[in-house]
Amino acid sequence: TVITNETSALQTSYEFIVIGGGTTGLAVANRLSINHTVLVVELGADMMDDESINNPFTPFGTPGGCQSSMETPPQVGSNGTRVRVQPQSYGVCLGGSSSINALMGSRPTFAGMTALEALGNPGWGWNDFLPFMQKSETFTPPDAIQRADGANYFAAVHGFDGPVGVSFAIPFVAPELQNAAVNTTESVYGLSLSPDLGNGFSGGHVAHYYEHIHFNETLQADRRSSSAWSYLYPQSQQRKGLTVLVQHRVNSVLTTTARGNVTATGVLVEPATGGKVLTFKATKEIILSAGALHSPAILQRSGVGNATFLQSLGITPVVDLPGVGSNFQDSILLTNVSFPLSPSANNTNVTAGDKVLVGVVVGHPTARDAFGPNGTDIIRTSLLNSSAAFPLSVSGVVNSDSFIAQATVSANAYEIDHPLLEIFYTPGSQALNVWSQSILPLSRGTLRINTTNPSVDPVPNPQYLSIEADIQVAIRMARGIAQAALTPPFSDLITPTALTESGVPPPNATDAQVRDWVLATYTPGIHFVGSNSMMPKEIGGVVSPELVVYGTTNLRVADASIMPLSVFPHCTLGLYGVGEKAADMILRAAE
Ligand SMILES: Cc1cc2nc3c(=O)[nH]c(=O)nc-3n(C[C@H](O)[C@H](O)[C@H](O)COP(=O)(O)OP(=O)(O)OC[C@H]3O[C@@H](n4cnc5c(N)ncnc54)[C@H](O)[C@@H]3O)c2cc1C
């Protein structure tokens, strides 16, 4: 494998070009380059030896290193009254966001993948998708001590010789906190301990959590399993046919049109800091893997998108595809919560010392767990009413059928056992954190460029909490956090006044008070998806189930932007499955 920031020695033509050397892009490039020539163009740098990235206990990167951010415009929010700008973060270096993320190793569920397939995507159900997640993975089973502490796994759903290391923390980072968190979450939401949160049936369960980390005896230290450390750097993954050009931006995709079919022929590339624009040609396919924040922008600059919108920027439309940059979405987090430690609990069994991992225990209540026996009916009504009532002019979807189709498959997923929300526990030296995340939000927004200048970031507008159903879930998330703070054994680990000090509304707060707190304190989930959704074109789809951009013959998208629903609660492990499945489909087509 050649990794370089120099273009002078490169060929001008490759069989495949992958745009973006991030989480999904490197997985695709790795598989394609076994027997083909592949050029990956990555905007960020090669940060292979950067300890701040490799150390799993210092997540989130640093600004100016691999971490980059964007800001949303003021969010529509609660009934049009809320105005707030939210910072957005993503990874810009080899490995992309997998080089800076929090390493929580979650997988989609059977119910979620059923919803994805029902939206018009044959071949994407759980049984079809699982083998690709397994292909990507080397799972390290829990050791005897971890098993005695409650960690468990189902061998049948894991992979044991793939590139990505997945493991429980070794040793358990904060065993006393972890066991208290499991017991308290069982009481608060009525959950039971899961045999394996990645077995497709995490709804209704809580568990000690695994992360994407290589705990390798031969390493000097534990190391993050970024896609770069999984699919690119190891000796076993070296490829003669693979060239990775770093610190260069793809401005747009070049195309030709014959008899109504658009064929991608190459890419326009320039140095990240600006300079001479070069052309690289692709003789087979071009795969767009620049992430949910950038892939739609590259399509728009290439003339693929809503024709009227493109013309307003002076871009000649090549494919009129209104779904590009629509259906953009993100989960929300309630993370502005920390509970001061009880002095008697101040030891590494609770605080994890300097080995802090985010979300060491995770609970996945279903609609029934959160709202009672009629929970699935309550959420179905709420989803369908919200989508019917929302004004389309500001909705982020291309038509009301899109909203109704997405609300219906989501409601059906809750009917099976899809998690409604996530509650998770993170140790800390002075405080313990109980955070919560929404999982399948229905609020939708847009991702659009506002200039043809490729060095200017597009405008991400997820319209957080613009749908009433999402606000109702967020209220329940906040109430769950408050209950956890008051429920033993977790409550014994924090001070008696911890809940009051945290600012989280107490259990006797009214729904209106909790709503105000949620709207004032939520933060972005940073799990952007949907901006090039895989679904039928009529409801705003951009790619087919084969990930081919509608109207083109050989332009595919493989990254988080293809997910029309956020059924990968934390996206990374699911996206490795997308990368493996994409490569499989591309190689079959190339035979
Ligand atoms: C701070 C943070 C914490 C997170 N925590 C977790 C977690 O705990 N668990 C989990 O599973 N997920 C987590 N996620 C989400 C997850 O990491 C992302 O959803 C996922 O990595 C996205 O993968 P991707 O392939 O779509 O894009 P990325 O991995 O972001 O890759 C896109 C790549 O394209 C490059 N690029 C962009 N534009 C261009 C261009 N014009 N030309 C060339 N290259 C370009 C970028 O530099 C980047 O390397 C987190 C994300 C963040 C940001």
The CATH code of the domain that includes 305 is 3.50.50.60
Residues 6+ apart with CB under 8 A from 162: 134, 135, 136, 137, 138
Take atom 10 of ligand 1 and give the residue whose Cα is closest: 570
Can you give the pLDDT at residue 78? Answer: 61
Structure tokens at 160: 């044991």
> Which of the listed residues 18, 30, 90, 547 should we mutate to test ligand 1's pocket, taking the one with most ligand atoms within 8 A of CB?
90
> Which of the listed residues 19, 97, 245 should we mutate to test ligand 1's pocket, taking the one with most ligand atoms within 8 A of CB?
97
Residue 494 domain flag? no
The residue-averaged pLDDT of 304-314 equals: 98
> Annotation-wise, does 7 bind a ligand?
no
Residue 96 Cα to ligand 1 midpoint, Å, equals 5
Cα separation of the two ends of the chain: 23
Residue 200 domain flag? no
Residue 551 Cα to ligand 1 midpoint, Å, equals 27
**Does residue 503 register a pLDDT over 70?**
yes
Is-contact 286 19, C-beta < 8 A? yes
The residue-averaged pLDDT of 237-257 equals: 98
**Does residue 217 register a pLDDT over 60?**
no
> Annotation-wise, does 250 bind a ligand?
yes
Residue 299 domain flag? yes
Take atom 48 of ligand 1 and give the residue whose Cα is closest: 96
Per-residue model confidence as pLDDT tens digits over 429-450: 889 999 999 999 999 999 999 9
Per-residue model confidence as pLDDT tens digits over 51-89: 889 988 888 877 778 999 998 988 876 655 667 788 778
Is-contact 435 335, C-beta < 8 A? yes
Residue 100 Cα to ligand 1 midpoint, Å, equals 8
Residue 258 domain flag? yes
Residue 20 Cα to ligand 1 midpoint, Å, equals 10
Per-residue model confidence as pLDDT tens digits over 112-124: 999 999 999 999 9
Mean pLDDT over the full length of the chain = 94
> Which of the listed residues 67, 98, 295, 581 should we mutate to test ligand 1's pocket, taking the one with most ligand atoms within 8 A of CB?
98
According to DSSP, the residues that pair with 264 across neighbouring strands are 255
Residue 66 Cα to ligand 1 midpoint, Å, equals 10
CA distance 151 to 87: 35
Residue 527 among the catalytic residues: yes
Per-residue model confidence as pLDDT tens digits over 353-373: 888 899 999 999 999 999 999
Q: Which residues line ligand 1 (CB under 6 A)?
A: 19-25, 41-44, 60, 89-92, 96-98, 100-104, 106, 249-250, 289-292, 294, 298, 526-527, 559-560, 570-572, 575
Can you give the pLDDT at residue 395? Answer: 84
CA distance 474 to 467: 11
Is-contact 279 267, C-beta < 8 A? yes
- How many folded domains does the chain comprise? 1
**Does residue 422 register a pLDDT over 60?**
yes
**Does residue 260 register a pLDDT over 90?**
no
Choice between 343 and 418, residue whose per-residue pLDDT is larger: 418
CA distance 394 to 389: 12
Residue 368 domain flag? no
Read off the pLDDT band of 389 (50, 70, 90).
confident
C-alpha distances in angstroms, 129 versus 201, 204, 230, 479, 588? Answer: 15, 22, 20, 34, 17
Per-residue model confidence as pLDDT tens digits over 168-188: 887 788 999 999 999 999 999
Take atom 50 of ligand 1 and give the residue whose Cα is closest: 101
Per-residue model confidence as pLDDT tens digits over 316-339: 999 999 999 999 999 999 988 899
Residue 449 domain flag? no
CA gyration radius, the chain:
23
For 380-445, strand residue ranges (E) read 421-426, 431-438
**Does residue 240 register a pLDDT over 70?**
yes
CA distance 306 to 531: 13
> Among 380-394, 468-482, 491-505, which is the least confidently predicted range?
380-394
Can you give the pLDDT at residue 216? Answer: 63
Residue 116 domain flag? no
> Annotation-wise, does 510 bind a ligand?
no
Residue 548 domain flag? yes
Burial (CB count within 10 angstroms: exposed 0-12, middle 13-18, buried 19+), residue 350: buried
Choice between 59 and 229, residue whose per-residue pLDDT is larger: 229
Structure tokens at 22: 């991030």
Domain limits for position 252 = 2-102+228-328+529-590
CA distance 124 to 113: 7
Closest CA to 56 of 98, 3, 115: 98
Read off the pLDDT band of 418 (50, 70, 90).
very high
Can you give the pLDDT at residue 514? Answer: 96
